[in-house]
Structure 1
Amino acid sequence: MKTGKVVALSGGIGGAKLALGLDRVLAPGQLTIIANTGDDFRHLGLHISPDIDTLLYTLAGLDDPVRGWGRRDETWNFMQALGQIGGETWFQLGDGDLAIHVERTRRLAGGETLSEVTDGLRRRLGIASAIVPMSDDPVRTRVETDEGWLDFQHYFVRRRCEPRVRALEFAGAATARLAANALAALSDPALAAIIICPSNPYLSVDPIRAVPGLREALHAASAPVIAVSPIIAGQAVKGPTAKMMAELGLMPSAATVAEHYAGLIDVFVVDEADAETGVGGAEKRVGPTLMRNLDDKIGLARLVLGVTGWTV
């Protein structure tokens, strides 16, 4: 196996799937995953970090393969009891899932950073790869819709992505600082590859890119930046990516995503269904990118790492 370190930028379920493949083929300590925290919010007095938790559950083998989010074999006694007394139930928190939110909130209140809390949780769950938030400072994704401005979870979960999207903003990004462990991973002289997972470019990757210092760190790194398209044959595998692109006046296609990343990436990986798609100035690699099972995730990880000469 080639030696070196790998950094992956991830948000949402698609990002976690490739992160799992990378985690399975790389040696312990080789992979650092920088997680989107633009989806974070306070709910019922708790600090919720959906994309971090998706990574924690997925890499620990605790994720629900049916819903695609939350813990497997979950129970819902808390939500049922909350509904009986008139509490807010639009954001579902399972009984097991509650534990991680309660513990995170407790530790943050005690003075730990989100990076410290996240690292402690991944160690307790037996995850060998590092998972770091993009920032320890709050950055919140907000969506301008035909119903007005909505905080991300109110758009994504409460309104189920139904309002038409007009614009996005990342509140707090201008004054946020790149998490120290994220900067260290991107500055590591042993860094051999930077991978942008097939996450929503606008809702999951752009919040990370909006943090000051991230773009500069990517450009300063000598390692190639490789992005995987979340669009296959004009459709998003999961989530509102294609719908959002159309509402923003963009053609839902792999080529549009490649254009969005122009000047940032060196290589763009597209599915076999998009083999004839142009990717601008980036180098194009083609292969199966649909991840239905663990073998698919490992296969895509090997394809992406192979761009840099890795044989795994």
Structure 2
Amino acid sequence: MIYLFKMIILIAVLIPNSVIHAVAPSFEQTVSPNTLFIGDTFTYSIKLKLRKNTSLVNVPEDYDIIKDTNLSLINQSVLKSSDDVYRYIDLNYDLQIFDIEQQIIPTQTIIIQTPTTKELQIPSFPITVTSVKSSDSENIQLSNFIFINSQLNWVPIIFIGVLIIILIFGLFKLFRYLQQTKNISADNTAEIDSRSPYEIATHDLEENFKQIKSVLIKDYYVNYSDILKTYIAALLNIKDIEMTSFEVLNLCYDRFNEQDYRRLKKILNFSDSVKFAQFLASDEDNTLYYQKALECIESLHQSFSKKSTDTPLPHVVEEELLTT
């Protein structure tokens, strides 16, 4: 009987203790430090108290905590501990604030796994910023979005910035060098005209004559004379072709046979008379002197081809032009 009485008393004591521990999951919100100035870093914590048979399914992410640019997430961490009955979980979010107005961390939802899944609604939390900084603060606030924290180690930051500038400058110089090399290579690999002076002159005269109706007659005969002078300069190995018709004829006087010289003189004189508006050439004249130019070049080509097989053509240097 005494034993039965003791058992009843023991059950009466244990039942109330079980009810006390069978409480719903609890949480606590904290901010550390309590006093905040603009630009300060602080920790927002959600401290959870769960029974051991309860597990976390979902916790707030950084985008759930931060809804505008006045708060910036630096780091987040989770601390866990337990005792015989409960599990303790601290969700810590290290933030930096960039506005003197009160900031609100919005309402959060935490899902826990119990015999029936349950949601914990973490209410919104106000963050108050003191508008007056302490006298020893050397931090610089340039705007709501630009803040300079003097407590950071700026030496590696400045060093990295200088390295980035040097790298960008080096890449720019390399790009310019590659562009210049590409242009030089393109110039060097340009197609070399393998045609003979005779072929070039014949082709240029033909192309010039094709456009006689679309250009001024003066421009036509300027090109006409230049083509002939360029061909003669190639025959005589002369580099400077910026010569008048009179100078060209003087150079050719002792180098061409009489027939070629007279033919060339007549052609150049006619061209000059048209260029300087001393003579108005007709279509028949233009066609005639186009044919005469072709015949002149053909004759000179044959004469110099024959001469090159008999005796070498004397080399005429630029100094000779100055004394002629």
TM category, shorter: under 0.3
Question: Bigger radius of gyration, 1 or 2?
Answer: 2
Higher helix share: 2
Relative to the length of structure 2, the TM-score reads 0.17
